[in-house]
Amino acid sequence: MPRTADKGAPSAALRREIEADCQRVLLSAFRELDEFAYAQLAARFTPDGTWHREGREYAGRGQILAALEERPRTQVVRHIVTNLTVGVDSASRAVASGYNTVFRALDASAADVPIAITSPLGMWVLDATLVRSGDAWLIEDLRQTRQFSFGEPGAG
């Protein structure tokens, strides 16, 4: 939740700027995941950042990148992030939450549009902690908890 009355609390204008920056980081991260831009995605985490994904915890950019590189390149995945809200704890720390609906087609190409699928893969609740590092906001912790399954096991 954004602070409102604390003495060192960010101003309303700074809170709005932080909210937009943090939303941009998270939306870009999932776009990079969909586009196999894994190095850029891993760089959005702090050096020791954690990602809780598919029932596992990946700690540090190296583990995150290694796990992502194992994803099949013969799939098309789209992460639709919605209801993304950001609470500003301070000028250097924020928390975000939202929903992530995942669509996946195995053995497909993005050029094969439209791609026929029967339903989304599932819907996850996402929770993130972001911290300021210089002029950039980085993900310190990202957690995804599956809330709905539409029949197909696994995550995107």
pLDDT above 70 (res 5) = no
| Residue at token pair 């596992």 | 56
Taking only the tens place, the pLDDT of each residue in 10-48 is 999 999 999 999 999 999 999 999 999 999 999 999 999
CATH number of the domain that residue 128 is part of:
3.10.450.50
Please give the pLDDT value at position 107: 85
Is 73 among the domain residues? yes
Taking only the tens place, the pLDDT of each residue in 142-151 is 999 999 998 6
Taking only the tens place, the pLDDT of each residue in 80-130 is 999 999 999 999 999 999 999 999 999 888 777 898 888 999 999 999 999
Query: 79, 156 in Cβ contact below 8 A?
Result: yes
Please give the pLDDT value at position 33: 98
pLDDT above 50 (res 3) = no
Query: 84, 26 in Cβ contact below 8 A?
Result: yes
Q: What distance in Å separates the CA atoms of residue 22 and residue 45, rounded to the nearest whole number? A: 12
Count up the domains in the chain and report the number.
1
Is 6 among the domain residues? no
Is 156 among the domain residues? no
pLDDT above 70 (res 1) = no
Is 2 among the domain residues? no
Tell me the residue range of the domain where 93 lies.
12-149
pLDDT above 60 (res 58) = yes
Average pLDDT over residues 41-59: 96
Is 5 among the domain residues? no
Is 115 among the domain residues? yes
Is 42 among the domain residues? yes
Is 23 among the domain residues? yes
Question: What average pLDDT does the chain have?
Answer: 91
In DSSP terms, 79 is beta-bridged to: 102
pLDDT band for position 152 (cuts 50, 70, 90):
low
| Residue at token pair 């669509």 | 103
Please give the pLDDT value at position 112: 78
Please give the residue that has the higher pLDDT: either 66 or 112.
Answer: 66
Instruction: Let me know the angle formed at the C-alpha of 41 by 15 and 150, rounded to the nearest 5 degrees.
Output: 90
